[in-house]
Chain A
């Protein structure tokens, strides 16, 4: 249920002001926190229309804009009949006593009686202009968003609790977006269209809710949940967490000369030599640290379009830079699996001095199952998403009763330059765990040849 009020002011098509206010209530939120108020105010000034801009020739259009407001979000458990504020039940909780059958009740999730709306304090300022006879369109924005009471799904199984929706904490996302396009008809035969965009982004966990055990959000993946994403105050959200690999133990003597690591299990030459980060002389769970950030520093994209007489050429590309990927396979997969090993396993350790990075191949060496920098890969990539060439014959074949004929070739996902060992470099996930390569399939390259004929 919503109450909504909205005002839009527009004065002389130069000054714009819009404001909205709403009061939303959701049955997914417990009754005491059910209502939440949201508002936003936005303003824009078309500077280019002011009289003092009449004398300049550079800008064909110029606009300054800004907005501020509070937005809201809510999540659910993603199960059927999903009412997070009511204690839903698992179906089929039926218990036999002898041959007598009795129905019982087991909760499907844990009700959080204090759950409230997630709110986002968002602010944005920007500039937009056109120049060079409107050939150039340019836009730049700076944004800052603070998500409060981030609604997140928390695994509490180590406390013997069902998973729970929690207001997990406070996150800040900020950055800049820049985009530009250039459109030009060079002459009657040639026209070009260029565009590019780049978004710089940063994020930081400002606080984790006190209701969360340990002041952290741990979201773990893979067979044994050894691939961990942690959200800790002061660090980027969903940072990868684990050990730092210094190399491999080469010999028994090497093991004897290194800090004792038996706290993590038994190990032998060919296994990972983890770094004693806290310098206490033993390798233990306390030597884990943040080993990667799944969020990129920036993402970018662009396109080029050329038309020359009947020919057309279009290419569309993009990529990300600066994020890490946590490769789950290759050391953390299920011990039940029997799979062909990837080619890089040929470089494995198989005797002193043979490798200082690829561990011995052995299902029994569970020491190497601990998530570590061995699993971390550079997630930056650049991809040609789409490329098309075509030629339009026009009405050349009108004698054959073909009014128009066009042939083209199109390639989707033509080529990706990446650093990951998996099939792709793009991995999704949830708000508190993403960027895990769990051995998913490749993005297909699709090549299409086409012919369009109009009779």
Chain B
């Protein structure tokens, strides 16, 4: 009891109790800046955000994309200067693939970013029971982006984790690899829905214009779907899908091959009738608005030791001696695709602007002998945007899928199904256009009649090589044809190189759930 008495003498220094009325309401105040919730009822904002990723991110448009899709083949090389990105020579040109570098990590990460973004939109659209026409188009766009990303992943890495759900707990995203067939099954399901939900075009009949040139369409979904079947040699599906795209009447070959690459002031190559999938870029007068990407900037002529007006870009993805030597000079596409150091650019007839390039001379002049002319920036546009000597060609669109691919896919599928006449007829459409529409009996790029399946197969392979040179088709074409070892073997390609090793960082974060690709 003594202690109780003692405690009775305790000085109670203070009891402080603070309350604030309306406290709960105060805490529930939202940020003053916009948040994703503001777009919650309409998933359109998130979809537009995905276009921003698709148009700009490195894994879809710039160096890593070029490394995986173009620089790896025999016709394109890293370019730039000898020291800039020297590791890419090892990692992509001589097939000493790496498990841990910026390019491969970025390629992987950016595609999974897009997949997660698509899953989120699909989740919200489903839980909000969105059924209006705009939302359903958005859903179609999400399916397309997911399928597009998985197609690039399955081509690059083979078996990859199949993430087709939205999740908030990070560890739920760790999954083992799925078989290639399962990834393709998801791609098929997605593109079937995308093809049904996306519009044929975005033309608005009440305003009589198209507010969204370059936005995804059912034609883009069907053509991508055809590409995925081409890789699986499902020839009848390729034929059916190509026929759907052709029958839509939305597309045609531009009459001039050179016009395709005119992406300057009023350039007819921008969002042309031949364009099926085109990453959009826009730089206005004086550089405003500045909504360009580094797709063309990363490939424009690198100044090296030359005068500043030849600072047109970083100079990656340049033609090789192999391409230059193998390509017959009589093919007009050659002069429209290869820009030669030390030579006249050919003027408008071949996609030039009347300038003569400084000579090849690493250190003292230009670092490469050849450049990708398909992204050769228009001097008038350099003046218009104010990007005269800063190496920025951000306004140039990336023509990702052209109608010419539909025609050549149709030809290839027909040939494989023993329909030589259709194969020859479609091959002729592309060759005649390339010749300058000289028609029957021409000497340049003459008509190739069907003789036998092997002869026509080789003709189509050649045609794809010239038509799409520097555009990022060839490496995977060689792989699917089974020609990669013969074409690339001297560079170091072996069978295991058909798939890139999965980034070590992805394996590390999975805690061993993800397993490295065989032979890596």
The interface of chain A, by Cβ under 8 A from chain B, is: 1-11, 25-27, 31, 34, 80-81, 83, 86-89, 93-107, 111-114, 154, 156-161, 164, 166, 210-216, 218, 220, 223-226, 263-266, 285, 335-336, 338, 363-364, 366, 370
Residues of chain A lying within 8 A (CB to CB) of residue B115: 160
Minimal Cβ-Cβ distance residue in B for A4? B18
| Cβ of B105 under 8 Å from chain A | yes
Residues of chain A lying within 8 A (CB to CB) of residue B112: 158-161
B39 touches A105 (CB 8 A): yes
Please name 24 pairs of A and B residues whose Cβ atoms are closer than 8 Å in the assembled complex, sorted by A: A9-B7, A9-B13, A27-B29, A80-B33, A86-B37, A95-B48, A98-B213, A103-B48, A104-B45, A105-B38, A105-B39, A105-B46, A106-B53, A107-B36, A111-B168, A156-B173, A157-B109, A161-B112, A212-B170, A213-B174, A218-B509, A225-B105, A263-B99, A364-B86
| Cβ of B251 under 8 Å from chain A | no
State A87–B213 Cα separation when bound (angstroms). 30
**6 other contacts beyond A4-B16, A99-B284, with CB at 8 A cut-off?**
A9-B7, A97-B211, A160-B111, A161-B173, A364-B90, A366-B87
Minimal Cβ-Cβ distance residue in A for B270? A98
With A104-B45, A159-B174, A366-B90 as given contacts, are A112 and B291 in contact (CB-CB < 8 Å)? no
With A104-B46, A159-B173, A160-B109 as given contacts, are A335 and B16 in contact (CB-CB < 8 Å)? no
Residues of chain A lying within 8 A (CB to CB) of residue B29: 27
Contact partner of A161 (CB less than 8 A), chosen from B87, B108, B113, B513, is B113
B102 touches A224 (CB 8 A): yes
| Cβ of B289 under 8 Å from chain A | yes
Minimal Cβ-Cβ distance residue in B for A230? B508
**B8-40 contact mask (Cβ, 8 Å, vs A): 1 or 0:** 011111111111100100111111111111110
With A5-B16, A98-B282 as given contacts, are A106 and B52 in contact (CB-CB < 8 Å)? yes
A89 touches B10 (CB 8 A): no
Minimal Cβ-Cβ distance residue in A for B112? A160
Residues of chain B lying within 8 A (CB to CB) of residue A9: 7, 10-13
Minimal Cβ-Cβ distance residue in B for A334? B102
A-contacting 9-mer, from B62-70, B189-197, B499-507:
B499-507
With A27-B27, A94-B289 as given contacts, are A105 and B48 in contact (CB-CB < 8 Å)? yes
B36 touches A10 (CB 8 A): no
With A8-B14, A105-B49, A154-B170 as given contacts, are A25 and B114 in contact (CB-CB < 8 Å)? no
Contact partner of A210 (CB less than 8 A), chosen from B19, B27, B47, B171, is B171
B83 touches A338 (CB 8 A): yes
Contacts of B109-163 to chain A: CB distance below 8 A: 109-116, 163
Minimal Cβ-Cβ distance residue in B for A228? B508
Chain B min CB distance to A1 (Å):
5
Residues of chain B lying within 8 A (CB to CB) of residue A99: 282, 284
Residues of chain B lying within 8 A (CB to CB) of residue A7: 12-15
| Cβ of B432 under 8 Å from chain A | no
Chain A min CB distance to B507 (Å):
7
A166 touches B170 (CB 8 A): yes
Nearest first, the 4 closest Cβ-Cβ pairs linking A and B are A160-B112, A104-B48, A214-B511, A87-B36
| Cβ of B214 under 8 Å from chain A | yes
State A81–B509 Cα separation when bound (angstroms). 30
B170 touches A161 (CB 8 A): yes
Chain B min CB distance to A219 (Å):
12
Q: Say which size band chain B's interface belongs to.
A: 35 or more
With A5-B16, A7-B15 as given contacts, are A96 and B35 in contact (CB-CB < 8 Å)? no
Chain A min CB distance to B348 (Å):
24
Residues of chain A lying within 8 A (CB to CB) of residue B227: none
Chain B min CB distance to A403 (Å):
46
B508 touches A266 (CB 8 A): no
Chain A min CB distance to B436 (Å):
28
Minimal Cβ-Cβ distance residue in A for B44? A104
State A54–B510 Cα separation when bound (angstroms). 66
A213 touches B289 (CB 8 A): no
Chain A min CB distance to B63 (Å):
12
State A224–B102 Cα separation when bound (angstroms). 6
| Cβ of B374 under 8 Å from chain A | no
State A265–B99 Cα separation when bound (angstroms). 8
With A1-B23, A363-B86 as given contacts, are A89 and B36 in contact (CB-CB < 8 Å)? yes
Contacts of B466-520 to chain A: CB distance below 8 A: 503-513, 516, 520
Contact partner of B49 (CB less than 8 A), chosen from A11, A106, A156, A363, is A106
| Cβ of B100 under 8 Å from chain A | yes
B173 touches A213 (CB 8 A): yes
Residues of chain A lying within 8 A (CB to CB) of residue B109: 157-158, 160
With A158-B506, A160-B113, A210-B171 as given contacts, are A93 and B520 in contact (CB-CB < 8 Å)? no
| Cβ of B363 under 8 Å from chain A | no
Contact partner of A95 (CB less than 8 A), chosen from B12, B174, B211, B291, is B291
B116 touches A161 (CB 8 A): yes
B10 touches A97 (CB 8 A): no
Residues of chain A lying within 8 A (CB to CB) of residue B18: 2-4
With A106-B53, A164-B170, A212-B171 as given contacts, are A159 and B509 in contact (CB-CB < 8 Å)? yes
Residues of chain B lying within 8 A (CB to CB) of residue A266: 90, 96
| Cβ of B55 under 8 Å from chain A | yes
Minimal Cβ-Cβ distance residue in B for A82? B31
B168 touches A113 (CB 8 A): yes
A102 touches B48 (CB 8 A): yes
Contacts of B347-383 to chain A: CB distance below 8 A: none
With A25-B23, A158-B505, A224-B101 as given contacts, are A10 and B52 in contact (CB-CB < 8 Å)? no
State A106–B116 Cα separation when bound (angstroms). 12
Contact partner of A101 (CB less than 8 A), chosen from B215, B291, B507, is B291
A104 touches B113 (CB 8 A): no
Residues of chain A lying within 8 A (CB to CB) of residue B280: 95-98
Contacts of B48-86 to chain A: CB distance below 8 A: 48-53, 55, 83-86
Chain B min CB distance to A274 (Å):
14
State A27–B511 Cα separation when bound (angstroms). 33
Chain B min CB distance to A432 (Å):
14
State A104–B30 Cα separation when bound (angstroms). 20
| Cβ of B212 under 8 Å from chain A | yes
Residues of chain B lying within 8 A (CB to CB) of residue A105: 34, 36, 38-39, 45-46, 48-49
With A94-B289, A97-B212, A224-B101 as given contacts, are A88 and B11 in contact (CB-CB < 8 Å)? no
Minimal Cβ-Cβ distance residue in A for B18? A4
State A272–B111 Cα separation when bound (angstroms). 33
Contact partner of A5 (CB less than 8 A), chosen from B17, B86, B101, B173, is B17
Chain B min CB distance to A318 (Å):
37
| Cβ of B6 under 8 Å from chain A | yes
A160 touches B9 (CB 8 A): no
Residues of chain B lying within 8 A (CB to CB) of residue A336: 84-85
Residues of chain A lying within 8 A (CB to CB) of residue B291: 94-96, 101
Residues of chain A lying within 8 A (CB to CB) of residue B84: 336
State A87–B35 Cα separation when bound (angstroms). 5
Minimal Cβ-Cβ distance residue in B for A83? B31
Chain B min CB distance to A213 (Å):
5
Minimal Cβ-Cβ distance residue in B for A9? B10
Residues of chain B lying within 8 A (CB to CB) of residue A111: 168
Contact partner of A93 (CB less than 8 A), chosen from B49, B503, B504, B509, is B49
B33 touches A88 (CB 8 A): yes
| Cβ of B169 under 8 Å from chain A | yes
Residue of A98, A107, A158, A164 contacting most chain B CB atoms (<10 Å):
A158
With A25-B27, A98-B271 as given contacts, are A93 and B98 in contact (CB-CB < 8 Å)? no
State A21–B38 Cα separation when bound (angstroms). 38
Residues of chain B lying within 8 A (CB to CB) of residue A158: 105, 108-109, 112, 503, 505-506, 508-509
With A87-B35, A97-B213 as given contacts, are A160 and B114 in contact (CB-CB < 8 Å)? yes
State A159–B116 Cα separation when bound (angstroms). 9
Contact partner of B101 (CB less than 8 A), chosen from A26, A96, A366, is A366
Residues of chain B lying within 8 A (CB to CB) of residue A101: 282, 289, 291
Minimal Cβ-Cβ distance residue in B for A7? B15
